[in-house]
Amino acid sequence: MGWISLLFLAAVSLAETKVKGPEKLLTKHAVDAIRYIDGDGRVAYIRKRPGVLGIVSSFRSEEFVTDAPQSDFLVIGSSYKRKVIVEVIKNQHTVFNVMRSNKLMMFNWGETKGKDIGFGMATRLHMADEWITYYQPEKRSIIVKNLITEKDFTVKLNPKANPFFIPDVTMVSSDLIVYTDINDQGLASVISYQMRTGKTEVVYKSSQTGTRMELCQQDNYLAIGEFPYEGVNRGSKILQMPVMSSFNLGGFTTLYESTEQDIGNIICLDDSIYFIKTMNQSPELGLKTTDAVKLVLKNSQIIQRTNMGNVSQLINMDGRVLLPSRGSFYVLEGEYNLSSETLKNPTSREEKL
């Protein structure tokens, strides 16, 4: 595959030296019970008690999934708010298995009647919630499923790769998915798969072992992050690729490149990409000081957003960028105070409910 390397590397400098700490997420619910909360805090999916998932909005509170008390739930939504996927994790505390397939249930946004759609993990909604992808670790397969027609496709990953590898998947058109894979030599790659023809093509391949690829997508671009695994001395890179048309992935530009071993966990927004950057490193022990930074797309400027030193994860939840840390959630982008007692006007969809 021919690709164009438009290397307009901006000098990576930290724009702010004094960093104001992010605000804690404030809600009317206990944060450890929340499984999903939308951008304005009107609708929240809450683990109401062991084995019971409920939905809470301005006007109602309803339990809608009941399972064994040992079960827990993950709720996956998107900013389109048309569907939510619930992953039911059975025996969360008695069966420790990081590569398990969970029961997947689909619900229309805000509704309580849903249906089972399969078993898997690492679920994602795509294309205005019309498509879903999930991973079945026991088969090393990515399942791509249309939620309307229920037609599905299976993409097999490299069979001899890391047994604990979980792919990242995104969908750039209703016929084309892009996913990450790793070969038995440890070389990571980004691959496109055209569902109509079953044709796969390598979009980007790492030139070195010991790194992993990450994907995130916003309306008009796809970002690829290449970051090293812990304990591996490699640099980090973020590439941006415009999504030109349904079948064509354009050439990419390098937005960010560093010799530091960043954690990554990239999150794409309209005008920026959030990721976790290594600010300091002690190479002899592999110790890192990590913080969340914002990469501004228009000028590749890096803005440090936290000063905690031990940031490891970021979550994009309906456009709100959350930073989970030791039982608390900090808000890097979006409204943080959702504890207001003021009753918000119902949306037209809530009225229907």
Partner 1 sequence: MGLCFSSFAQTSPIDTPASIDYPGLLETFEKLIQVDTARLKKKTELLTKTGKNLSDAKTVTNIDLEPDFLNSLILHSDPGYLRVAGQGKCRMADVIITDLLRTADGRVKNVIITYVNKDNVRETSVLSKRDFLTKVVSVECPESMKMIDEMSLKNLDATIKKVNFELPTGEEQCHSIHIGWLNDPRTPYLCQIHEYISEANSNAGDPNDLAQRKALARVLSGKMSATNREYLANICSHLDEEKLFCQDFLYVSFWNKVANGQASRIYAEEICKKALKTTTLSEPQLRECLARMKKESDICLYPAKKAGLVPQMECDLLSAALNYSSFRSDYSDDPATSDQLGVTNMGRIVLNINKTPVRPFEGPPSVISAAETFNFNDGFDNTEKWQIEACYDNMVTNLEVCQQTVIGKYLGLRQSYTNVVEDILKRTRGAEQNISCGMTSELEYNPLLLKYKSGCHIVYNPETCQISNCPHKIIYNDRAITHIRIKSNMSMDYFPLNIPSERTSQHYLLANDFRRGARSMGNLSAIITFFKKNRKGVIHGVGCAEELLPSFFKVRAMNQCSPVPFIIDGMIKNEDKTVLVTRTALDSLQAPRLISWSNVFSSVKSYQLLHPMRLWTMYGMD
> Rule CB under 8 A: which of 25-44 touch partner 1?
31-37
Q: Which is nearer to partner 1, 144 or 253 (CB)?
A: 144
With CB under 8 A as the contact rule, which of the stretches 14-22, 161-169, 242-250, 333-341 interacts with partner 1? 161-169
Q: What is the DSSP string of 163-203?
A: TT----EEEEETTEEEEEEE-TTSEEEEEEEETTTTEEEEE
Long-range contacts of 10-14 (CB under 8 A, 24+ apart): 10/299, 10/300, 10/301, 12/256, 12/257, 12/258, 12/300, 12/302, 13/301, 13/302, 14/293, 14/302, 14/303, 14/304
**59 touches 350 (CB < 8 A):** yes
Determine which residue in the list 2, 5, 11, 94 makes contact with partner 1, applying CB under 8 A. 94
Using CB under 8 A as the binding rule, whether residue 309 contacts partner 1 is answered as yes
Q: Which run of H or E residues covers position 87?
A: strand 83-89
Q: How far is CA 311 from the centre of its chain?
A: 16
User: What mask of x and - would describe binding to partner 1 in positions 263 to 302, judged by CB under 8 A?
Assistant: xxx----------x-----x-xxxxx--------------
Per CB under 8 A, contacts with partner 1 among 201-260 are 209-210, 212, 214, 227-233
Which residue's structure tokens are 């812990």? 230
Using CB under 8 A as the binding rule, whether residue 109 contacts partner 1 is answered as no
Using CB under 8 A as the binding rule, whether residue 198 contacts partner 1 is answered as no
Determine which residue in the list 53, 55, 56, 74 makes contact with partner 1, applying CB under 8 A. 74
Using CB under 8 A as the binding rule, whether residue 154 contacts partner 1 is answered as no
Cβ count near 339 (within 10 Å) = 11
Using CB under 8 A as the binding rule, whether residue 91 contacts partner 1 is answered as yes
Determine which residue in the list 186, 235, 242, 346 makes contact with partner 1, applying CB under 8 A. 186
Using CB under 8 A as the binding rule, whether residue 75 contacts partner 1 is answered as yes
Q: Which is nearer to partner 1, 27 or 301 (CB)?
A: 27
Minimum Å gap between C-beta 299 and partner 1 is 27
Q: Which run of H or E residues covers position 348?
A: helix 348-352
